[in-house]
Amino acid sequence: MAECHVNTLKPGDPFRDWLVEEVMEHRVRDKNCCVKVFKNGSSSHTVCRYHFEGENFSVMAKFFAEPTGRLKNYNACKAMKNEFKKLELAASLINVARPLAINKEFNCALVTEHIPGKPLSWYFKSEKNLYEKLTGMSHMLRKLHDNTRSSYNKENEFKNYHGVLDHLTLDHSTRETFNRLLGECWYSDLLDRKHGCMIHRDVHPSNYIFYKGQPYALDFESSWFHANPVRDLGILSAELKNYFEQNKGGGGKAEPYIGHFLWEYSGGDEKNFMEITKVLPFYMSLGLLRSARLHHEVYQGYLVREAMACLKAIR
């Protein structure tokens, strides 16, 4: 992602001093070093990289009290603590940007280790070893899901789907059709399962970075517990389809990648694969609607139609 140098902090700057003297106490050798600040160009909060001059590492800070996206009035302090806790839990299971500190005095800053590397979105674009990267993604998500088994909240899955629909201004008949199709899913056993688990939930390709061949997950702000694991798979599949539709001459060209990703996730077990692919259209449709919110009218119309077609294909 594009980042630009915006400042250089010298000793005496309160945030720099906190980073050097408290957060990175044992790692920064020269306590008088300057810290270069690089602002991340595309995020829903102010997110900056802090590079300690003369050292070969950086940290990232996400300022929850400075949202740049649509959500302006939410509890920044609560959101900061929530992401810190979820990152800590996930860090015990998979590779994540390790959480280092939080501080509400600095616009609710969450400091994490900086992961150098390329985001999954870079591999969508170049398709360089994309199959291999998706294998890495599938194993990471499987590990997160398998090791956080809990009870399952089916109601929440539907409540959230309706919430996503509420954010789109759909005409009455389109919304009614979605309501009917969702009602049919609700009364079928499609989404029934014994267990839920922790999911990442924001499976956007900018939220994963590959470092030394391994994926690292970022951005656990909207992660859920008691959730359906297929949701993470559906959102990533929708992101692939959406990206290929927009940039590679057709969403259909994403299908081999989606198939590979799901097959790897199911560990080559045919029964498991069938179970996942049965539920997948529900979450792919949700993923397409989630993206629809960010697009202009014509493309939004396409995504809404595709999302509806996914739901209709569930029988």
Q: Which residue has the tokens 């119309």?
A: 301
Kindly calculate the radius of gyration of the chain based on its CA atoms and give it in whole angstroms. Answer: 21
Min dist. Cβ of residue 315 to Mg ion (A): 35
Strands 109-113 and 118-119: unpaired
Residue among 181, 178, 199, 197 nearest 292 (CA): 178
Of these, 18, 36, 39, 43, which contacts ligand ADP (CB under 6 A)? 43
Q: Does 207 bind Mg ion (CB under 5 A)?
A: yes
The site map against Mg ion for 215-244 (x = CB under 5 A) is ----x-------------------------
CB nearer to Mg ion: pick between 243 and 263: 243
Applying CB under 6 A, does 207 fall inside the site for ligand ADP? yes
Residue among 157 and 221 whose Cβ is closer to ligand ADP: 221
Other beta carbons within 10 Å of 300: 18
88: Cβ–Cβ under 8 A, 6 or more apart, which residues?
99
Structure tokens given for 219: 């951005």
Segment 104-143, which members bind ligand ADP (CB under 6 A)? 112-115, 119
Q: Which stretch binds Mg ion (CB under 5 A): 150-158, 165-173, 207-215, 287-295?
A: 207-215
Could you say which of 18, 40, 106, 255 contacts ligand ADP (CB under 6 A)? 40
The structure tokens listed for 222 are: 């909207």
Which option in ligand ADP, Mg ion, none does residue 228 bind, with CB closer than 5 to 8 A by kind? none
Q: Is 225 exposed, middle or buried, given 0-12, 13-18 or 19+ CB atoms closer than 10 A?
A: middle
3-state SS, one letter per residue, for 39-89: EECCCCEEEEEEEECCCCCEEEEEEEEEECCCCCCCCHHHHHHHHHHHHHH
Site for ligand ADP in 210-229 (CB under 6 A): 218-219, 221
Residue entry with tokens 């980073």: 19
Of 122-130, 170-178, 202-210, 243-251, the segment contacting ligand ADP by CB under 6 A is 202-210
Least distance in Å: CB of 110 to ligand ADP?
A: 8
- Are 243 and 204 in contact by the 8 Å Cβ rule? The answer is no
For position 95 contacting ligand ADP by CB under 6 A, the verdict is no
Query: In angstroms, rounded to a whole number, what is the distance separating the alpha carbons of residues 159 and 154?
Result: 9
148 scored as a contact of Mg ion (CB under 5 A): no
Interaction between residue 97 and ligand ADP (CB under 6 A): yes
Residue nearest to Mg ion (CB): 219
Between 47 and 289, CB nearer to ligand ADP: 47
Query: Of 244, 232, 240, which Cα lies nearest the Cα of 279?
Result: 232
Residues that bind ligand ADP (rule: CB under 6 A) add up to a total of 20
- Note whether 24 binds ligand ADP by CB under 6 A: no
Q: Could you say whether residue 60 binds ligand ADP (CB under 6 A)?
A: yes
Of 39-47, 70-78, 240-248, 291-299, which segment contacts ligand ADP by CB under 6 A? Answer: 39-47
Rounded to the nearest 5 percent, the helix, strand and coil shares of the chain are 50, 20, 30
The residue to which tokens 């517990």 are assigned = 225
By CB under 6 A, tell whether 209 contacts ligand ADP.
yes
Positions that interact with Mg ion (CB under 5 A): 207, 219
Positions that interact with ligand ADP (CB under 6 A): 1, 40, 43-45, 47, 60, 62, 97, 112-115, 119, 206-207, 209, 218-219, 221
